[in-house]
């Protein structure tokens, strides 16, 4: 029997087939992990904002990367924690909102990582014109577009699903994504398919640009020990962040599109949330330890607090 989209008020989510004891243990571990994510990203954001010496393009982009991590994880963790303590259901509006937040955050990550790659390309390959290219006004425009474009692209993706007729209400995932909602449609949603593949190609272009930038950077830095040191100091964190995030997203995307039913539910869950689990924790750590200015600022704040505590 076909159900109209107006009839489907709630969706059920799958993947939480645990005993009560397992749910409580997973809830506590997830809550701890989420607090670590919030603490790391908020702390790095605050450090960059309050220290005027860090108001440089590279650190401004990093600040936005941390803000986006908080934004994206807010779309998943609170609902997931609630599902561990109750039945995993979500309203139609809540499902659309969750899918929008998670998707737009993922795309925003690619946009910011592309800006970071461009910033390092100009800084290392064209150092004489760096300050004339990366002006405050231009950086502000870059940051604005890195947020506006993903939000717009994902808004169009979500909007293309709103009028579709659904023949089911069960989503085979622990959170809502637009692709899963589209698979419930009684007939293919052509508008959503077109928008979805356009977005994939658009952000795949971001990925290609990032890879090209780092290949050019590596080739340029091979000719000079000074540039090699600069690359290791400022580019390696970006490269590690890019690899971690890209692999995480790729695993989820490939499984969601081409996955096998033979894969265990636990592995399915891990692949589904890896990009919400690993990069938000790894990024503050690698940037905090590797970038000298941030590391010194954090150590200085810790030292001041210890000194004050003695008195």
pLDDT of the residue at 227: 67
pLDDT of the residue at 34: 96
pLDDT of the residue at 304: 52
* Rg of the chain on CA atoms, in Å: 21
What does the alpha-carbon distance between residue 131 and residue 123 come to, in Å, rounded to a whole number?
A: 9
Task: Give the position of tokens 């690993």.
Answer: 278
| Token duo for residue 154 | 């994902």
Residue 257 buriedness (CB in 10 A; 0-12 / 13-18 / 19+): exposed
Nearest to 284 by CA among 62, 27, 125, 90: 62
Helix 136-159 to helix 57-74 angle (10° resolution) is 20
| Cα 92 → chain centroid | 23
* Contact by Cβ (8 Å): 107, 213: no
Beta strands of the chain (E only): which ranges?
Answer: 10-13, 89-91, 170-171
pLDDT of the residue at 190: 82
Instruction: Give me the torsion for CA of 117, 122, 124, 126, rounded to 10°.
Output: 160
Domains along the chain with CATH numbers? 10-310 (1.20.1070.10)
Give the predicted TM-score (pTM) of the model.
Answer: 0.86
pLDDT of the residue at 163: 74
pLDDT of the residue at 104: 94
Q: What is the pLDDT along the chain (311 residues), one digit of tens a residue?
A: 444 444 667 888 887 878 888 889 999 999 999 999 999 899 889 888 988 888 889 889 999 999 999 999 999 999 999 999 888 889 888 999 999 999 999 999 999 999 998 998 898 888 889 999 999 999 999 999 999 999 999 999 998 888 778 888 888 888 988 888 888 888 777 888 888 889 989 998 988 898 888 888 888 877 777 767 767 766 777 778 888 888 878 777 766 666 555 667 777 777 788 888 888 998 888 876 666 666 666 666 555 555 554 54
- Distances in Å between the alpha carbon of 157 and those of 91, 207, 255, 262? 18, 20, 20, 30
């Amino acid at each position: 029997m076909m159900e109209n989209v107006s009839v489907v008020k709630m969706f059920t989510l799958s993947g939480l087939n645990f005993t009560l004891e397992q749910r409580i243990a997973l809830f506590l571990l997830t809550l701890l992990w989420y607090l670590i994510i919030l603490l790391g990203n908020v702390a790095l954001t605050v450090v960059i904002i309050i220290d005027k010496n860090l108001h440089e393009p590279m650190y401004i982009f990093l600040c936005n990367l941390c803000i986006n991590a908080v934004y994206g994880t807010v779309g998943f963790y609170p609902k997931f924690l609630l599902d561990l303590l109750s039945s995993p259901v979500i309203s139609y509006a809540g499902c659309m909102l969750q899918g929008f937040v998670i998707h737009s955050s993922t795309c925003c990550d690619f946009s910011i990582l592309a800006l970071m790659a461009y910033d390092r390309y100009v800084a290392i390959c064209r150092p004489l014109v760096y300050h004339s290219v990366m002006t405050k006004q231009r950086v502000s425009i870059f940051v604005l577009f890195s947020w506006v474009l993903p939000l717009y692209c994902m808004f169009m993706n979500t909007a293309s699903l709103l009028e579709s007729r659904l023949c089911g209400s069960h989503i085979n995932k622990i959170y809502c994504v637009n692709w899963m909602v589209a698979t419930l449609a009684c007939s293919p949603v052509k508008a959503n398919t077109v928008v979805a593949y356009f977005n994939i190609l658009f952000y795949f272009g971001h990925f290609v640009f990032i890879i090209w930038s780092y290949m050019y950077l590596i080739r340029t830095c091979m000719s000079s020990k000074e540039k090699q040191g600069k690359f290791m100091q400022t580019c390696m964190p970006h490269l590690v962040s890019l690899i971690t995030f890209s692999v995480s997203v790729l695993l989820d995307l490939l499984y969601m599109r081409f996955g096998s039913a033979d894969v265990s539910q636990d592995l399915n869950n891990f692949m589904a949330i890896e990009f919400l689990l690993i990069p938000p924790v790894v990024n503050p750590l690698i940037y905090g330890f590797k970038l000298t200015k941030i590391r010194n600022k954090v150590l200085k704040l810790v030292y001041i607090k210890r000194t004050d505590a003695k008195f």
